[in-house]
Amino acid sequence: QESDAISAEQADKYEKEVRKALLERFRPSYEALISFLESDIENTDEVATGVHRLENGEAYYNARLANYTTTDLTADEIHEIGLSEVERLTNEMIAIKEKVEFDGDLQDFFDYIRTDERFFYPNNDEGAEMYLEDSREYLAYINEKLPEYFGILPKADLVVKRVEPFREQDGAAQHYYPGSPDGERPGIYYAHLSDMSSMPKNEMEAIAYHEGNPGHHMQISIAQELESVPEFRTQAGFTVYSEGWGLYSEQLAKEMGAYEDPYSDFGRLTTEIWRAVRLVVDTGMHAKGWTEEEAVKYFQQHTPIAEGAVRSEVRRYLVMPGQATAYKIGMIRILELREEAKEALGDKFDIRGFHDTVLGGGALPLHILERRVDQWVEKQKNA
């Protein structure tokens, strides 16, 4: 049988060609881009704020919101949804603070969560391995429960890995890397673990479910493996759908029996209120004249997220108008569709059928997803 391996001579030749291309082609282009950005920064306002200040800024922002949410929601409407969700989730956080009998207000509790060593693994390779093992255990529990909530299950396995040293960054976000459409290569849940002090234990359970099962791994693997739709639909992407599903999955995991530790449930609320705050500050900066500092202050007031991460988030929103609103808008719509289906079907409602309907057509704009769910409901009524 012919080997796929290349010879040492070929490897040496390819390495030299790659090195030449990087140094002679890629590097000058990248240096030119850096040079342009460094010179162009002089055109930036001293006080950072959003696109509302630019010519046609309002129309541009509305177009970005329509693109990312696939809805006709206005900036004002999204802002109000955000304020309402932040209030609801803050009350749920206070309830957990009282449940664990913490002595102090919510800000004191945030400080405790941010700093107490009980919420962190040792900041070394052993601590990193503990993080990976515990994540695998959380996902193993959920895997046992999946058949109760889903008819369609992915062929591809899910593995949990530490990010490779050449690209690992302190405090960078965990992420999912899809497997192959034939299910041969597994999907990978990656975690950056070079700085364990930025990987709190209480948030890791929710993030594992979001990136793994029943979150991105379920959604992307099932989409890739579909044979009932044109191929382009197996690879389609809509942020509001995929990230809405990821966030919905964090709550669904609770319904599946996860988050036995109240501090982990607080971590779930932290990741959800994070996405609710995005609705407020993204619209605040791009449509209502909020400055970067006002956005940072609001973020810190309502979440236990560390200041460094908050500033990084807010700057992301400044340069990607509207993108950050997709997560919560998507989650809310999936929950609404589920409640509407439950109400319409009563005893005929089957959670597995609902989930298979949401995932079984690949990623969709919300108005098409709504139509798909409505069609499923009518079919169930007549079954």
Q: What is the mean pLDDT of residues 80-88?
A: 98
* pLDDT band, very low/low/confident/very high, at 260 (cuts 50, 70, 90): very high
Residue type, 266: F
Q: Which two tokens stand for residue 244?
A: 């809405």
The predicted pLDDT at position 4 comes to 76
Ramachandran angles phi, psi of 238, nearest 5°:
-135, 115
Rg of the chain (C-alpha set): 23
Residue 164 has pLDDT above 60, yes or no: yes
* pLDDT band, very low/low/confident/very high, at 379 (cuts 50, 70, 90): very high
Residue length of the chain: 383
Q: What is the mean pLDDT of residues 19-45?
A: 93
| pTM summary value | 0.91
* pLDDT band, very low/low/confident/very high, at 48 (cuts 50, 70, 90): confident
| pLDDT tens readout for residues 278-316 | 999 999 999 999 999 999 999 999 999 988 889 989 999
> 153-185 burial by CB neighbour count: b if 16+ within 10 A, else e?
ebebebbbebbeeeebeeebebebbbbebeeee
Q: What is the mean pLDDT of residues 92-111?
A: 97
Q: What is the mean pLDDT of residues 123-140?
A: 97
Higher pLDDT, 2 or 347: 347
Query: Whole-angstrom Cα distance, residue 225 to residue 343?
Result: 31
Query: Whole-angstrom Cα distance, residue 129 to residue 121?
Result: 9
The predicted pLDDT at position 176 comes to 97
Q: What is the mean pLDDT of residues 153-165?
A: 96
Query: Whole-angstrom Cα distance, residue 62 to residue 136?
Result: 41
Q: Which of 237, 251, 279 is nearest to 363 (CA)?
A: 237
Q: What is the mean pLDDT of residues 355-370?
A: 97
* pLDDT band, very low/low/confident/very high, at 183 (cuts 50, 70, 90): confident
Q: What is the mean pLDDT of residues 36-42?
A: 92
Residue 224 has pLDDT above 70, yes or no: yes
Query: Whole-angstrom Cα distance, residue 25 to residue 22?
Result: 6
Angle at 333 between CA 332 and CA 334, to 5 degrees: 95
Residue 1 has pLDDT above 60, yes or no: no
Mean pLDDT (the chain) is 95
CA distance readout (Å), 56 to 51, 62, 70, 256: 9, 10, 21, 47
Query: Whole-angstrom Cα distance, residue 145 to residue 249?
Result: 13
Query: Whole-angstrom Cα distance, residue 183 to residue 218?
Result: 12
The predicted pLDDT at position 2 comes to 57
Higher pLDDT, 181 or 355: 355
Query: Whole-angstrom Cα distance, residue 230 to residue 244?
Result: 23
The predicted pLDDT at position 47 comes to 77
Q: Please spell the DSSP secondary structure of 114-151, one letter per residue.
A: HH-GGGS--SSHHHHHHHHHHHHHHHHHHHHHHHHH-S
Helix and strand element counts for the chain (H, E): 16, 3
Q: Please spell the DSSP secondary structure of 237-279, one letter per residue.
A: --HHHHHHHHHHHHHHHHHTT---SHHHHHHHHHHHHHHHHHH
| pLDDT tens readout for residues 191-220 | 999 999 989 999 999 999 999 999 999 999
Q: What is the mean pLDDT of residues 56-63?
A: 96
- Dihedral sign, Cα of residue 57, residue 58, residue 60, residue 65: positive
Q: What is the mean pLDDT of residues 146-152?
A: 98
Q: Which of 302, 294, 222, 309 is nearest to 48 (CA)?
A: 294
Higher pLDDT, 106 or 309: 106
Query: Whole-angstrom Cα distance, residue 307 to residue 114?
Result: 10
CA distance readout (Å), 374 to 261, 378, 381: 37, 6, 11
- Dihedral sign, Cα of residue 196, residue 163, residue 241, residue 148: negative
